[in-house]
Chain A
Amino acid sequence: MHRGNKGRCRYPSAIDCSGKLTQRSLMHGFANPTRFLSIARPLTPALMVTGVIMVAIALFLGLFNAPADRLMGETVRILYIHVPAAWLGMAGWTSIAIASLVELVWRHPLAGIAARASALPGAFFCALCLATGSIWARPTWGTWWVWDGRLTSMLVLLFLYLGYMALADASQKDAAAGRNGTARVAAIFGLVGAINVPIINRSVVWWNSLHQPASITMGKSAIDPAFLWPLGMAVIGFSLIFGAIILMRMRTLLADIRIEARMRRLAAA
């Protein structure tokens, strides 16, 4: 794989190809696709392997080693999937929002790619959180679903993800067809939707809800250490896998753009 950018650019004009970074800030350095790829290529398997190992250990400890809960019994074990899924569902939208801000203000094309890469994994974990929560709720609360503040705001997050993916797809197609009108719509939507994240977080504090309040708050934990250790490990492990998947998806999207550009050059020639 050649890395040189002399002569002609491998990316369409929307992407900054200047290999020269002398007068640019550090942030601009990371916005350069070539430099990004040279970091992302080794980082992807490193994150993935570490994450998978951590999740495997955490799930083994959680499913076989940790004790059953005093009241919930064995159903407490779904915690080791549900909590990381909820965390990543919200973290996914937070990264969409931050990347959208960078895209809108500094016009970095890689930021838009990062935002679009975060959407599908975020939506997956959001859906996983809702599904595992529902399965846990049936034996614990006695119902699959209630319309309380926490559950409803999490469902809204899933719909926001679906809306964002549809928008990002449409604006991508527009850009490919040479129309530029909708280019920033997905980024604006990503920023506006971020309002839901603090609402999800505060929903159990502001409103009486069937969902229990946070068990871990600012250094205090109402979760026994026997449950907490595997849980912390599962959260970190799933987060590393999440990071690896986002890097993979960003590389795929960049490759798509390159293919598109090459096809266009061939068609023009």
Chain B
Amino acid sequence: MPSPMKAKHQRLVLISIAFIGLLAAGLIAAYALRGQASYFYTPGELAAAEVEPGQAIRLGGMVQTGSIKKQADGVTIDFIVEDGKGTVPVRFSGITPALFVEGSGVVAEGRMDRAGFFVADNLLAKHDENYVPREMKDMTSADVKKVAGTVAQP
């Protein structure tokens, strides 16, 4: 006759199995959301994603250094968003956020036009994970080099 399992051990095993199953299901579901739950396309993903012109999307990446060009009307700017796998030219009319500078992250809301321009209605500045004091903006550590060009006078 098999010795009966203690009740609390039975509960522990049952709850552990149920919890691990549930955790796996939740994490797999979250992982599967990958495409849908992403807040924006990067230029590299956008090239592969076959987005229709006119469809509302968000585009995120780094503002290419030296690419911000003010247009003649004074409120429109053109710049290039890059992610190392591709580049997308962007046009935006309006007031840019304070952290919008060349070499830093940006998320643009808008749509592609037929000419391959991304026409943005709204710009969001994306802060990266680096926190550097103002006085140390010229430091040469690898972390800061990674985001070279973010040096700006606030």
Residues on A lying within 8 angstroms of B by beta carbon are 66-73, 76, 79, 101, 104-107, 139-143, 146-149, 191-192, 194-196, 198-199, 202, 206-210, 212-215, 222-224, 226-227
| Contact residues of B between 1 and 42, Cβ < 8 Å to A | 8, 11-12, 15, 19, 22-23, 26-27, 30-31, 33-34, 37-42
For A69, give its contact among B19, B37, B42, B131 (CB under 8 Å): B131
Chain B, residue nearest A204 (CB): B129
- What chain B residues lie within 8 Å of A210 (beta carbons)? 39-40, 60, 107, 124, 126
- What chain A residues lie within 8 Å of B133 (beta carbons)? 66-70, 224, 226-227
Q: Are B136 and A70 touching (Cβ within 8 A)?
A: yes
- B73 interfacial by beta-carbon distance below 8 Å: no
Q: Are B134 and A212 touching (Cβ within 8 A)?
A: no
Q: How far is the CA of A67 from the CA of B134 in the complex (A)?
A: 7
The distance from the CB of A98 to the nearest CB of chain B, in whole angstroms, is: 12
The distance from the CB of B101 to the nearest CB of chain A, in whole angstroms, is: 8
Q: Are A212 and B127 touching (Cβ within 8 A)?
A: yes
Q: Are B38 and A207 touching (Cβ within 8 A)?
A: yes
| Contact residues of B between 104 and 154, Cβ < 8 Å to A | 104, 107, 122-137, 143, 150-152, 154
For B99, give its contact among A72, A107, A206, A207 (CB under 8 Å): A72
The distance from the CB of A162 to the nearest CB of chain B, in whole angstroms, is: 20
Q: How far is the CA of A104 from the CA of B40 in the complex (A)?
A: 42
For A105, give its contact among B15, B40, B122 (CB under 8 Å): B15
- What chain B residues lie within 8 Å of A140 (beta carbons)? 97-99, 125, 127
| Contact residues of B between 36 and 70, Cβ < 8 Å to A | 37-42, 60
Chosen A-B contacts, 29 in total, with CB atoms closer than 8 Å, are A67-B136, A68-B134, A68-B154, A69-B131, A69-B134, A70-B150, A70-B151, A72-B154, A76-B131, A104-B15, A140-B97, A140-B98, A141-B125, A142-B123, A142-B125, A147-B39, A148-B39, A191-B19, A196-B26, A206-B30, A206-B34, A207-B33, A207-B34, A207-B37, A208-B42, A214-B129, A215-B129, A222-B131, A227-B133
B interface residues, tally (CB under 8 Å): 48
- What chain A residues lie within 8 Å of B130 (beta carbons)? 215, 222-223
Q: How far is the CA of A72 from the CA of B151 in the complex (A)?
A: 11
Q: How far is the CA of A157 from the CA of B23 in the complex (A)?
A: 16
Q: How far is the CA of A226 from the CA of B39 in the complex (A)?
A: 32
Q: Are B127 and A71 touching (Cβ within 8 A)?
A: yes
For B129, give its contact among A105, A106, A143, A213 (CB under 8 Å): A213
Contact A106-B8, Cβ < 8 Å, known A69-B133, A72-B99, A148-B39: yes
Q: How far is the CA of A240 from the CA of B97 in the complex (A)?
A: 38
- What chain A residues lie within 8 Å of B100 (beta carbons)? 142
The distance from the CB of A103 to the nearest CB of chain B, in whole angstroms, is: 10
Q: How far is the CA of A79 from the CA of B132 in the complex (A)?
A: 13
- What chain B residues lie within 8 Å of A227 (beta carbons)? 131, 133
- What chain A residues lie within 8 Å of B143 (beta carbons)? 222
